[in-house]
Copies of this chain bind each other. A is one copy, B any other.
């Protein structure tokens, strides 16, 4: 559904579905009046303006609108995309893979299958990572318990 932000060819409904899934992702300005400078977007996303320009250069951002003088004017759909990219980034997905996903989006609806596959694979990796981290928590708990015991013992004597 991010594809539509580029191709404008996907039904509006998909976008609503997304907002609803991502939780509290209210747009700062309503549809139609959504124009943001790069520094505003930097503020919203926590990314630097440098990074936003870099994302565009490497193809991780769809082409962003420009003002008549050539300055970037981000729109709500760009914020949505960045929000999703942020999620992918959290998974530890390499930027190159995110670019690959962006390319699939640009390529149009015929890539649904490949996009889905990529997301499914990512999901699997994330679940594995969660399991790994839970295992690590167990080890940490054990060690923390040891230090607590040691502390107790030293108090007891």
Contacts and interface: CB of A to CB of B under 8 A. Distances in A.
Contacts of A68: none
B139 A133 contact: no
B143 A119 contact: yes
How many copies of this chain sit in the oligomeric assembly? 2
A17 B136 CA distance: 16
Interface stretch (A31-39, A42-50, A58-66, A108-116): A108-116
A56 interface: no
Contacts of A120: 144
Contact of A140 (B1, B119, B138): B119
Interface of A: 1, 14, 17-18, 21-22, 84, 87-88, 90-91, 109, 112-113, 115-116, 119-120, 122-123, 126-127, 129-130, 132-144, 146-148, 150-151, 154
